[in-house]
């Protein structure tokens, strides 16, 4: 496949245009209920961003890390404080800056990766999860001394346009996700991504080829934290709106993001999208099926318990039959169809 | 067995006549010059086990230097010392006359010394082309932001690097597998890819750790051809570890023989072949 434009092949561009049309023309026109935007599409896109970061550090660079929620928390509160304390702070500027602040924290909490690896590194990175959330909760300054312990985030306003309806916020989040995904694809396919994967597959050989382990690992941690920071800010500003740090950014969110990366497919960009959709939407789908099909026949509490069992069972089955996740599954299906055609 | 021997002889002859003769008759494009790499009094031990004891030898510019010796003689450890993976307790390594003090794999790579590994250290889940492209790391200056935003320098470098790697792939005759993940390739091809990755660095010195281990006669012949061609056309200095005596004697200019971490011979192939100590080390001799 020859590249047509820069290094993108024809198929890349077709996919990109189709997704843009669906995301920015079809969905805003077809879906009118606010519920879909505020409860499904927006959290999905936000968590996709975090899963993308997790995938870069875990899937591409091979550094197990578990602390995405900590960086999300840092990003959210950095954005909140900048909007609060700096006059006329543009929201997008604050968003990027809070990403950078999270990236700085990412470098600090990524330092253990230079010495330890694997499961031990994962435990060490848990520090970010506990430490950041604890600091923000402990020191009232971060929450602007709110006595209730929770924080209500400001309304988004860009150049006089208020982003308050689910519809508008969806468009904003989707635009940011598109830009960041493009940047991530460029990195993953370029020399940066190759360095990441070289460190993942054989670090000694990578070092002998001149790839600096220190730089590459910390770079991956920084990019991961940057994406998580932005994801966290968007997550709070567009989805949660009122936040209590310990409740919103707990360890189960970190785990969720890690599972999104794994189930979607480690070392793929599309995997972040599919994984986030699966983890987030499947319980909703199961719930709808449970309530509509078995309504009245079985007790509601039992239905919700069965949902959990089915969900867990599905994850186990997937991991047994396709350990490389949904992205790989999709790839094999596509190739089978192409082979059948020819 | 008899037939096999004949075939081997024929193939060896072919290598000799085809390349060696050409070099012999026309003379080398790159004349063997001054010492480029010197190892001085290197000793390495792991706890109480002495892997290398007081070894000194030098490598001249543009030559092919072979390291041989029985299993466990310390050949790979020596390469790992030069490469910075192991830190010798004593001794110095000199590159182009200057002492290298802070030896790490990364530093050595930047000095222009590249290597292959004994047990294959390829990036298994990446394609052949990507593996070789990693070897171009030191020739790409664009940082991750330039890559992310696809700024002109990143695009230009990427294209140049791809071109160079395609050349190497063509040279190694592996065009048909360039998009296959290396983990799925047979051993002989993986060895070729690893050589390709080392070549992509355009290093002054290549350290090849058993580039022909586990290959059949035909693959070995190809590998010899590549090594000689690289040495002849690019003038790359080559240090290689190899067990196949025939190959070593044919392609190398000088040979170092190690046994139990010590040097027992250092000479041109013909003299090494008749060295009593070397014969003893290989065939075994009763110790008093």
Give the domain range for residue B134: 121-202
Give the ipTM of the model, two decimals please: 0.87
Burial of A85 (0-12, 13-18, 19+ CB in 10 A): exposed
Same domain, B209 and B286: yes
Is pLDDT at B20 greater than 60 in this prediction?
no
Q: Residue B138's Cα: distance from chain center in Å?
A: 19
Is pLDDT at A154 greater than 70 in this prediction?
yes
Same domain, B132 and B106: no
Residue B13 lies in a domain: no
Q: Please write the tens of the pLDDT for every residue from A301-318.
A: 887 888 888 888 888 888
Q: Please write the tens of the pLDDT for every residue from A225-252.
A: 999 999 999 999 999 999 999 999 999 9
Same domain, B270 and B138: no
Contact check, Cβ <8 Å, B106/A210? yes
User: What is the model's pLDDT at position A8?
Assistant: 83
In the structure, what pLDDT confidence band is assigned to residue B24 with cuts at 50, 70 and 90?
low
Same domain, B138 and B96: no
By Cβ distance, the residue of B108, B110, B134 closest to A206 is B134
User: What is the model's pLDDT at position B19?
Assistant: 58
Instruction: Give percent of chain A with pLDDT exceeding 90.
Output: 62
- Chain B nearest C-alpha distance from A206 (Å): 8
Residue B214 lies in a domain: yes
Residue B231 lies in a domain: yes
Task: Return d(Cα A331, Cα A264) in angstroms, integer.
Answer: 12
In the structure, what pLDDT confidence band is assigned to residue B286 with cuts at 50, 70 and 90?
low
Residue B174 lies in a domain: yes
Of the residues B178, B202, B226, the one at which a domain ends: B202
Residue B8 lies in a domain: no
Same domain, B241 and B268: yes
Of the residues B169, B202, B235, the one at which a domain ends: B202
Same domain, B127 and B174: yes
Angle between helix A300-321 and A251-264 (nearest 10): 50
Is pLDDT at B284 greater than 80 in this prediction?
no
Same domain, B95 and B212: yes
- Chain B nearest C-alpha distance from A155 (Å): 30
Residue B16 lies in a domain: no
Query: Mean pLDDT in chain A?
Result: 91
Task: Return d(Cα B210, Cα B76) in angstroms, integer.
Answer: 9
By Cβ distance, the residue of A191, A204, A219 closest to B140 is A191
For A168-190, what is the mean pLDDT? 95
Query: Going by C-beta distance under 8 Å and a sequence separation of 6 or more, which residues neighbour residue A63?
Result: A57, A110, A113, A117, A121, A217, A220, A221
Number of domains in chain B: 2
Same domain, B181 and B245: no
Task: Return d(Cα B267, Cα A28) in angstroms, integer.
Answer: 79
Residue B125 sits in a domain of what CATH number? 3.40.50.300
In the structure, what pLDDT confidence band is assigned to residue A205 with cuts at 50, 70 and 90?
very high
User: What is the model's pLDDT at position B1?
Assistant: 46
Q: Residue A67 has which token pair?
A: 């602390």
* C-alpha distance from residue A181 to each of A196, A220, A227, B146 (Å): 17, 15, 10, 15
Burial of A35 (0-12, 13-18, 19+ CB in 10 A): exposed
Q: Which residues of B179-193 are buried (b: 16+ CB within 10 A; e: fewer)?
A: eebbeebeebbbbbb
Q: Which helix (H) or strand (E) holds B205?
A: strand B205-209
Same domain, B234 and B133: no
Same domain, B132 and B242: no
* DSSP SS3 for A265: coil
For A132-152, what is the mean pLDDT? 89
For the ranges A50-54, A161-165, B25-29, B146-150, the lowest mean pLDDT is seen at B25-29
Residue B52 lies in a domain: yes
**Cβ contact A197:A16 at 8 Å:** no
CA-nearest residue to A187 within chain B is: B148
Of the residues B172, B202, B232, the one at which a domain ends: B202
Same domain, B178 and B250: no
More confident residue, B170 or B286: B170
Same domain, B99 and B229: yes
CA-nearest residue to B141 within chain A is: A191
Q: Which segments within chain A are labelled E, that is strand? A: 3-5, 8-9, 151-152, 156-158, 161-163, 242-243
A31 φ/ψ sector (left φ>0, alpha ψ -120 to 50, else beta): beta
Is pLDDT at A278 greater than 70 in this prediction?
yes
pTM for the full predicted model: 0.90
Q: Please write the tens of the pLDDT for every residue from B69-92.
A: 888 888 999 999 999 999 999 999
Contact check, Cβ <8 Å, B114/A190? no
Q: Which residues from B are below 8 Å from A200, CB to CB?
A: 123, 125
Residue B7 lies in a domain: no
A339 CB neighbour count, 10 Å cutoff: 8
């Amino acid at each position: 496949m020859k590249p047509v434009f820069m290094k993108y092949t024809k198929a890349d561009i077709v996919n990109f245009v189709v997704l843009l049309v669906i995301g920015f023309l079809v969905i805003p026109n077809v879906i009118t209920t606010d519920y879909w935007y505020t409860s499904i599409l927006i959290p999905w896109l936000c968590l996709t961003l975090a899963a993308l970061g997790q995938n870069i550090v875990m899937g591409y660079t091979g550094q197990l890390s578990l602390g995405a929620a900590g960086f999300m928390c840092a990003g959210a509160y950095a954005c909140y404080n900048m909007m609060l304390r700096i006059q006329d702070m543009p929201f997008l500027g604050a968003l990027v800056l809070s990403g950078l602040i999270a990236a700085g924290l990412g470098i600090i909490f990524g330092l253990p990766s230079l010495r330890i690896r694997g499961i031990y590194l994962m435990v060490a990175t848990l520090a970010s999860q506990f430490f950041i959330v604890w600091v923000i909760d402990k020191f009232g300054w971060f929450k602007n001394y709110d006595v209730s312990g929770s924080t209500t985030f400001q309304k988004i306003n860009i150049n006089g346009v208020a982003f308050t309806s689910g519809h508008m916020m969806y468009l904003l989040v989707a635009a940011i996700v598109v830009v960041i995904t493009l940047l991530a694809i460029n990195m993953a396919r370029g020399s940066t991504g190759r360095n990441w994967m070289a460190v993942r597959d054989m670090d000694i050989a990578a070092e002998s080829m001149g790839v600096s382990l220190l730089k590459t690992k910390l770079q991956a941690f920084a990019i991961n934290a940057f994406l998580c920071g932005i994801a966290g800010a968007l997550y709070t500003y567009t989805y949660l709106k009122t936040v209590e740090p310990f409740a919103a950014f707990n360890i189960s969110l970190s785990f969720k993001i890690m599972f999104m990366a794994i189930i979607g497919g480690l070392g793929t960009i599309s995997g972040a999208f599919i994984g986030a959709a699966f983890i987030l939407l499947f319980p909703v789908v199961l719930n709808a099926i449970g309530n509509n099909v078995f309504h009245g026949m079985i007790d509601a509490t039992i239905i919700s318990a069965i949902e959990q069992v089915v969900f867990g069972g599905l994850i186990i089955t997937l991991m047994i039959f396709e350990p490389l996740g949904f992205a790989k599954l999709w790839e094999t299906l596509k190739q089978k169809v192409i082979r059948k055609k020819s | 067995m008899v037939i096999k021997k004949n075939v081997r002889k024929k193939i060896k002859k072919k290598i000799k006549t085809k390349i060696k003769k050409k070099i012999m008759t026309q003379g080398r494009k790159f004349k063997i010059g001054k010492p480029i790499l010197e190892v001085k009094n290197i000793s390495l031990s792991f706890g109480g086990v002495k892997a290398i004891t007081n070894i000194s030898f030098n490598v001249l510019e543009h030559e092919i230097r072979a390291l041989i010796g029985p299993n466990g003689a310390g050949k790979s450890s020596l390469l790992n010392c030069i490469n910075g993976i192991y830190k010798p307790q004593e001794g110095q390594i000199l590159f182009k006359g200057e002492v290298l003090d802070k030896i790490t794999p990364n530093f050595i790579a930047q000095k222009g010394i590249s290597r292959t590994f004994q047990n294959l250290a390829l990036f298994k889940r990446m394609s052949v082309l990507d593996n070789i492209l990693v070897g171009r790391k030191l020739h790409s200056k664009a940082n991750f932001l330039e890559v992310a935003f696809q700024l002109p320098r990143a695009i230009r470098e990427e294209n140049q690097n791809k071109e160079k790697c395609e050349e190497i792939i063509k040279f190694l005759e592996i065009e048909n597998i360039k998009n296959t993940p290396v983990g799925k390739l047979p051993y002989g091809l993986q060895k070729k890819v690893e050589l390709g990755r080392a070549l992509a660095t355009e290093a002054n010195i290549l350290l090849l750790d058993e580039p022909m281990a586990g290959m059949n006669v035909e693959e070995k012949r190809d590998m010899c051809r590549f090594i000689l061609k690289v040495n002849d056309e690019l003038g790359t200095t080559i240090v290689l570890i190899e067990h196949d005596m025939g190959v070593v004697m044919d392609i190398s200019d000088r040979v170092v023989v190690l046994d139990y971490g010590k040097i027992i011979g250092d000479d041109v192939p013909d003299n090494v072949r008749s060295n009593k100590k070397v014969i003893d080390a290989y065939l075994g001799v009763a110790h008093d």
